[in-house]
């Protein structure tokens, strides 16, 4: 009986948030920033974002685009030196 009463006292409450960002919208955002034949700095894609959640959703959209081979990631010299571009036709 004591265990039941303790379980009732320590009920967990989970909160679900609805964010105004979607992966599809962020895919379109990324594709809109890229132009064929031009390289775009990886960091520049994330500077205009509003929050961490916005950055996470954008990063997930970026991973989807990379996986679908709709964009190309070019690695430069040194650490954290990346560019994004559209693939050659």
What single DSSP character describes residue 78?
A: S
Average pLDDT of 53-66?
94
Confidence (pLDDT) at 56: 94
The contacts of residue 74 (CB under 8 Å, 6+ apart) are: 39, 82, 83, 84, 85
Strands 82-85 and 40-41: antiparallel
Residue range 48-77: mean pLDDT, rounded = 92
Look up residue 44 and give its DSSP letter.
Answer: G
Structure-token pair, residue 46: 């994330």
- For residue 5, pLDDT beyond 80: no
- Domain 2-85: give its CATH code: 1.10.10.580
pLDDT tens by residue, 26-59:
999 999 988 888 888 888 888 888 889 999 999 9
Q: Which of 15, 66, 75 is nearest to 39 (CA)?
A: 75
64 has a pLDDT exceeding 90: yes
For the segment 4-9, the average pLDDT, to the nearest whole number, is 74
């Amino acid at each position: 009986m004591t265990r039941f009463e303790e379980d009732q006292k320590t009920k967990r409450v989970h909160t679900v948030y609805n964010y105004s960002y979607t992966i599809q919208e962020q895919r379109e955002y990324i594709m809109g920033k890229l132009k064929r034949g031009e390289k775009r700095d990886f960091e520049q894609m994330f500077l205009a974002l509003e929050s961490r959640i916005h950055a996470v959703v954008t990063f997930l959209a970026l991973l989807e685009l990379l996986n679908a081979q709709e964009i190309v990631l070019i690695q430069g010299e040194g650490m954290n030196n990346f560019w994004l571009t559209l693939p050659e036709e």
